[in-house]
Chains A and B, each alone.
Chain A
Amino acid sequence: MLFNSIDFAVFLPIVFALYWLLRKHLRAQNVLIALASYVFYGWWDWRFLFLILFSTLVDFFVGLQLEKSEHPQRRKLFLYLSLGVNLGLLGFFKYYNFFIDNFNQAFSFFGSEVSFRGLEIILPVGISFYTFQTLSYTIDIYRRKLPATRNFIAFAAFVSFFPQLVAGPIERATQLLPQFFKPRKFDFDKAKDGVMLIIWGLFKKIVIADNAAQYVNDIFQNHETYSGTTLLLGGVYFAFQIYGDFSGYSDIAIGLSRLFGFDLMRNFAYPYFSRDIAEFWRRWHISLSTWFRDYLYIPLGGSRGSTGMQVRNTFIIFVVSGFWHGANWTFIVWGALNALYFLPLLLTKRNRKNMDIAGQHNKVVLLKELGQILLTFGLTVIAWVFFRADSVSQAVTFLNGMFTQGLGIDRLEIERFSFEILPLIALLLLIEWYNRHYEHPLKTGRFLYFKALFLIFMILVWGSFSDMQEFIYFQF
């Protein structure tokens, strides 16, 4: 079920009304959340439900065993069981065909012919997200940071919590699970803020991302025939498409959670105003970056140890992050490219230089910061081309075309000029720049309702409804 669908527009009010009717019955509320989440998830394909139920059962059981056992070897064994089952399922559904294809190609490269057959596997929506979320539960119990829960309903609701089930934010068990045990009272201000976030998220998704998608699809599909200017615009548009799409989803998820009395972690913090790549990664997909930091980077040694170790750890975390996104070399190159961007900052120990918000100082500094922002954005655009392209060679051809296919304005196959969407992007940037000190642009301030109404107006008038796009991150 898509957040921007009629189905969801019917589903949400029903669940919302039932949920608050049951406000004095915490257990019933949790049952409702779990059931509603299964309906939400099963709407794509009911067969996926077996998978999520299996993960839930395994991790619930492993959690109990991890807490009960004092024997280190036994505890490790249970942790490996959780890691094996969760990463095994993820690996099978997401990476099986990728490994088979590359295995076959590697053999043919060395002159041998092997032909292991790939399988026709449907990738369950959001599997990477809930896998990481449940892993955080077992790992934290293993580390004795969290007690195991004996309440299966609450645990099932935590794993399948529909607002963030399929595309995050990837919540830590330590942060989200305890909220299922606290009585939840309807808080008007919190709910209002949730609605505002939903409006802002819908604006980014329907107005920015879905409109940009039409241009991006056309430009990437016909990149050999368009000018370098158009290709550059294609890269820029994709940067805003993926931002609007993913951060829009996160905002809607966080907003929905607030309607139900839950607090989820912030996932985006105006990433395109970052002054270097390190800052960008502190502001982009925060829940994933911090997940990798806590469960991969730090266990590997983090920033301790020799420079060589730090460089190795940095590459591992970025390449794994790229691979987490999808089973394609394009994502791996995207991750490696970001590691390369990060390296100079790491080696000169400037990766924690920009911890504040851009544009807080005098005008001279502001100009310098704008230059840094543009440079950082340019680097991300180059990386995004790999992320969007079907293959590494297509990405290279595309980037080459930016510099060799000349200047010019093209009329695209979609019967629009390549620049037509720029005013919408400028509007997004303007709104974000003037609100970058707040969690989101509709958080506070004067004329709040007027601003919300303006965004609703923009959604109705400029929204791309007829060519409704699924959220890009669903495939991950």
Chain B
Amino acid sequence: MAFVAFIALSYALDWIYTYSYKNPVYARDKVSWLHDMNSSATYDYALFGSSRCIYHLNPVTINQSTGLKGINLGYSGSNPFEIKLMVKKFLDKYQPKMIFVQLDNQYNIEHLDPTAITPWMPFIKEDEVYQEIIKYEDKAWYFKNIPFYRYTQYETKLGARNLILSYLKSNSFANQLGFTSINKTINRVKPGNYKLKDKPNIHVKEIEDLCRSKGVEVYFFTAPFLQQKINTAVIEKHVQHYQDFSQIFTQKAYFSDPTHLNRKGAEKFTDIFIQAYFD
């Protein structure tokens, strides 16, 4: 009897959590947000990447300058694998003219990121998502088939606290088309040097193939760093339509840390981005 009650409770909680994350009042993450967006909307372009995409490009500014409607779907920690999932989900729903993908020192990473995969857990029962995750996550079968297990294992981002917040607290990105800004300026910089291995990334390749099959143009770029060297020639060698912005800024005033622009830097970079792609 107690065991049956436990199983019933697990199923009920699983359903409540999944429903809430798929139909949020205030989406807690970009995947949930994209899932919940009106599918009749149209977008001219979309931006994908990690936090170096979210904090760096403001679609509202682009819209004001060019009249093009876009969306920033970058989210923290995502590597090419998670970016690919996001691109797929977006292209399943919308038909933009072009997409932009931010690549940098994560270019060589092909496994999934244990943190960045979190927002995908409510969607793991979708076959396409499951088939991708099972390739890299041993526990994927358990996440899919044991009720509520995924929510206990990812409770810091998908737990009760976030569930409650999804009904109460608005997020910082929805009213800026996915862009979020940082309002601090860096004090001290520790120079760095990222060395990429000369080999193509399978997920990036898949993104290119998918866009080609759907007739969507895909552009890759590297966002600005502060005093961080990176051999972007590797990326340039393996992808088409690539542009390197990594060394365009040397002023501390534009950065919140060596890898992230602050609000001022983001506005400046967005202007440069507009000139590069939309003028």
Contact = CB atoms under 8 A, between A and B. Distances in A.
Given A460-B148, A461-B160, A462-B160, A453 B5 contact: yes
B152 interface: yes
Given A466-B153, A466-B154, A461 B5 contact: no
A198 to B, nearest CB: 12
A456 B6 contact: yes
B63 to A, nearest CB: 30
A460 B156 contact: no
B166 to A, nearest CB: 14
A449 interface: yes
Contacts of B1: 449
Interface string A109-145: 0000000000000000000000000000000000000
Interface residues of B, number: 16
Interface in A443-476: 449, 452-453, 456-457, 460-467
A460 B2 contact: no
A457 B155 contact: no
Given A453-B9, A456-B9, A457-B9, A463 B2 contact: no
A460 B9 contact: yes
A121 B129 CA distance: 46
Contacts of A457: 9, 13
A414 to B, nearest CB: 9
B119 to A, nearest CB: 14
A239 B148 CA distance: 31
Given A449-B2, A460-B148, A465 B153 contact: yes
Contacts of B148: 460
Interface in A410-460: 416, 420, 449, 452-453, 456-457, 460
B2 A452 contact: yes
A420 B159 CA distance: 14
A119 B54 CA distance: 49
B18 interface: no
Contacts of A464: 155
A195 B9 CA distance: 18
Interface in A129-168: none
Contacts of B2: 195, 449, 452-453
B106 interface: no
Interface band, chain A: 10 to 19
Contact of B152 (A420, A452, A453, A465): A465
A467 B13 CA distance: 21
A31 to B, nearest CB: 29
Nearest to A452: B2
A314 B2 CA distance: 48
A125 B211 CA distance: 55
Given A460-B148, A461-B160, A466 B155 contact: yes
A460 B153 contact: no
Contacts of A420: 161
A461 B156 contact: no
B5 A460 contact: no
A461 B17 CA distance: 10
A467 B156 contact: yes
Nearest to A414: B156
A69 to B, nearest CB: 53
Nearest to A456: B6
B10 interface: yes
A85 B152 CA distance: 44
A449 B1 CA distance: 10
Nearest to B8: A453
Question: Which of B10, B148, B159 has the most C-beta atoms of chain A within 10 angstroms of its own C-beta?
Answer: B159
Question: Which of B6, B10, B13, B152 has the most C-beta atoms of chain A within 10 angstroms of its own C-beta?
Answer: B152
Interface of A: 195, 416, 420, 449, 452-453, 456-457, 460-467
Interface of B: 1-2, 5-6, 9-10, 13, 148, 152-156, 159-161
Q: Please name the 6 residue pairs, one residue from A and one from B, whose CB atoms are nearest each other, closest first.
A: A465-B152, A461-B160, A466-B156, A466-B155, A465-B155, A462-B160
29 contacts: A195-B2, A416-B161, A420-B161, A449-B1, A449-B5, A452-B2, A453-B5, A456-B6, A456-B9, A457-B9, A460-B10, A460-B13, A460-B148, A461-B159, A461-B160, A462-B159, A462-B160, A463-B152, A463-B155, A464-B155, A465-B152, A465-B153, A465-B155, A466-B152, A466-B153, A466-B154, A466-B155, A466-B156, A467-B156
Given A449-B2, A460-B10, A463-B152, 11 more contacts: A452-B2, A453-B6, A456-B9, A460-B13, A460-B148, A461-B13, A462-B159, A462-B160, A463-B155, A466-B152, A466-B155
